[in-house]
Amino acid sequence: MNKEHIINTHSHINMLKERTIEEALQNCIDENITIIVPSYDDKSIFEVDELTKKYDQVFGYVGVFPEEVKCFNDKTLTDMENIIKNNNKIISFYKTNRFCESNESAN
């Protein structure tokens, strides 16, 4: 493969609707692209964990979108910690901080 390796540091490949994950990943393989997939809620952290185990060129972040913080509890945190401890392809925390106009944190 002669194409220069590219790391795409943020792809929600598990949210695509017009093509399958396999199709999108084949396009990445053809272009020598590695991707990092963030989770967005308490359930998708498991989805990302599975994706990284299933596909060589997929790595993951764990975290939640601010609009999903209502689902974030102690179990979510424990789940995230367990995933990180047991999967060395989970390589970062993902965190969205959106401040209101009053400067009040969304989380």
Tell me which residues touch other proteins (CB under 8 A): 4-13, 15-19, 24-25, 27-28, 30-31, 33-36, 38, 59, 61, 63, 81, 84, 88-89, 91-99, 103
Using CA atoms, how far apart are residues 34 and 36, in angstroms rounded to an integer? 7
**Whole-number minimum distance, CB 11 to other proteins, in Å?**
4
**Whole-number minimum distance, CB 45 to other proteins, in Å?**
14
**Whole-number minimum distance, CB 31 to other proteins, in Å?**
5
With 0-12 / 13-18 / 19 or more C-beta atoms within 10 angstroms meaning exposed / middle / buried, residue 48 is: buried
Using CA atoms, how far apart are residues 90 and 100, in angstroms rounded to an integer? 30
Using CA atoms, how far apart are residues 57 and 105, in angstroms rounded to an integer? 35
